[in-house]
Amino acid sequence: MITPWHIPRNALTWILLSLLLLVPAHYDHLPWWALLVCLVVAGWRIMILRGDWGLPSIWIKLLLVLLSVAGIYQQFGGITGLEPMVALLFCGFSLKLLECSSRRDVYLVLFLAYLVAASAFLFSQQITFSLYMLLCVLVITAALVALHQPNVSEFSLSGLYKATVILLQAIPLTVVLFLVLPRFEPLWSVPAPSHQARTGMSDTMSPGDISALGRSDQLVFRAEFESGIPSSRQLYWRGLTLSDFDGRTWHRGPENMRFLTPRESQSVRQRFSQPINYKLIIEPNNQYWIFSLPLAFTDNPKVKMASDSRLVSIQQIGSRMQLDVLSDPDERLQSFMDIQQRALYTELPASGNPRTREWAQRLLDQAGNEVIFVQQMLDYFSREAFFYTLEPPLLGRDSVDEFIFDTRRGFCEHYASSFVFAVRSAGIPARVVAGYQGGDVNPLTGVVSVRQYDAHAWAEVWLEDQGWVRVDPTGAVSPLRIESGLQRAMEAVAEEFLPDDFLSPYRYRDIPWINQLRLRYEMLNYQWTKWVLNYRGQLQIDVMKRLLGDITAWRIAVLLLLVTLLASLPFLYRAWLHGRHLEPHQRLYLKICRMLEKQGYERQPNETPDEFAHRVAQDAPAWGPSLQLVTGLFTRLEYESVPEQEREQALKNLKHELFKLRYKRVWK
């Protein structure tokens, strides 16, 4: 009978290390119990390695599989979608390791490990994460190398050294393929993380919604301006207009759902007198709206302009998106308004907030015209004891009345909502605008990074001969918020910035060395995003022209061929050296051993040719005579002094037996 094959201890140790390294890579988007399954499998395998436990029975394996599938179904509401499929892959990879008992099983586990590592890039591509995943690939490759070192019984770093050499040898060809291969749109689409919560702004706004975003330092987008960064007071990143109010929550109105035709969009572009040119790199958020300076235009076919002068993606932004944008903040927004639109933008609930309605009407009568009325409203917010805070008190049914006349403590959404309600109470068209204000400027790159804590809400009031005019009541209460950002505004009222994230480097921007490290890391990450993650389209064409001049098919083919040959030289050289040191009979015998290995008969390092032939012949009697003859010829040529004429005849016989073995292998 054939001696059972055992996983080398060294290889199994590297496989377990690969498994444990892949856990942090999927920590954010997998259910906790899936990671627990991984740890249980690793622990079970360690006990098997120690000799304390045995392999699980078929019933235990079946139970674990059923529990994993049921858990995924319960967690995600099904098994279709990106996250459940990745979770299924991860659980399958972990559980397959539990039943490994053959070389084929180990190969499958290692290939699954590569696939699990690749799937992590569906959720993050930051440079630090990419370096970590490179470490995972290195360890997986070390496990694959260790699998081919059966003579190494204890844990050894030699596999890691060889894996490092392999990855270094792959770098030249990888770089050329990255530079040369075009980026085609896939024939299939990877669904956005449908079960993952959408991040950032929603299309509704209630008291407390935006103040919740003020506690997060998550990156929303970056902006790189061609000629100078506008002042902080000009950085109003417009994303949503909210015109329907139910007494507590603002919603998008139906008039904001219409998109402009390409001709209408071009007519807007032609009105620009002093456009600002900038590039947006938008992080995945699974939303449709794009935040830009007013009035914005882009010729990207995947983006449309809405009737309220917003930019909207035609599909969910499930992956990083780069966009060239033109904006002209001085251009009027909608200089004409018909009766129907005026009714929509002055509509209020039939009842509620009576004090605000009466006060606004009285203030308009005193002002005499709309412009003075708006200014008096801002003066009121500035003059009275209003406070800007991340922790506003809860409001009741008449939320606007309670805020303006009682609590007077709120975040930007409280001020924008109450201001628009009061202006509408006076019969003046107004709407709430949700977006971001300001941003963190990196002096090393000149790039503006906008984060969730820059979330902001303000008002737009429609005035005769002026169109929609931006009015920010928060600026009247807390000018520091508009001029210097949220951190300085919180310091002014003795409140903590990012109170829920003590490890955020943005809490410690006043410590010079921490701030310098943060700025340099952001610079590195931005260059990674710009030149690696977004290397496609025109950028790829420009780089190729610098390298090759005119881009032709034959130049690309020659470049690929040269790099492939250069990358293959070490392997060809080693094969040539190996062949030079082998005698003809040794090469023939190795061919026979390789042929038998493909049939499942691998010669062990401590196994003599006679023992190997005897073991194979017991399981495959048809090969017995030929193997015995081959072994005898090889042993004689290897260990005896054979005359030259007899040696040549023995080599011919060895070749003949090799042919017969191949024939028997086919007809076995």
Could you list the active site residues? 412, 456, 472
DSSP state of 431: E
Which residues, at least 6 apart from 643, have a Cβ–Cβ distance to it below 8 Å? none
CA distance 110 to 96: 10
Residue with token string 């990083």: 320
In the beta sheet, which residues pair with residue 183? Answer: none
DSSP readout, 358-399?
HHHHHHHHHH-SHHHHHHHHHHHHHHS--EE-SSPPP--SSH
DSSP state of 407: I
Question: What is the residue type of 255?
Answer: E
DSSP readout, 262-280?
HHHHHHHHHT-SSPEEEEE
In the beta sheet, which residues pair with residue 432? Answer: 242, 459
Note the residue count of the chain. 668
CA distance 412 to 201: 14
CA distance 275 to 295: 9
Residue among 462, 458, 479, 312 nearest 386 (CA): 479
CB 456 within 8 A of CB 473: no
Residue with token string 């009285």: 362
Which residues, at least 6 apart from 538, have a Cβ–Cβ distance to it below 8 Å? none
- Crossing angle (nearest 10°) for helices 370-383 and 354-367: 120
- Is beta strand 409-410 parallel, antiparallel or unpaired with respect to 387-388? parallel
Helical segments of 390-511, H only: 399-402, 412-425, 473-477, 479-484, 486-492
CA distance 163 to 146: 9
CA distance 474 to 388: 8
Containing 297, the helix (H) or strand (E) segment is strand 296-297
Work out the burial of residue 185: count CB atoms within 10 Å of its CB; fewer than 13 is exposed, 13-18 middle, 19 or more buried.
exposed
DSSP readout, 513-545?
HHHHHHHHHHHHHHHHIIIIIT--HHHHHHHHH
DSSP readout, 228-266?
-PPPGGG-EEEEEEE-EE-SS-EE--GGGS-B--HHHHH
Please say whether the dihedral angle defined by the alpha carbons of residues 568, 574, 580 and 582, taken in this order, is positive or negative. Answer: negative
Reading the block at residue 486, the tokens are: 């949220």
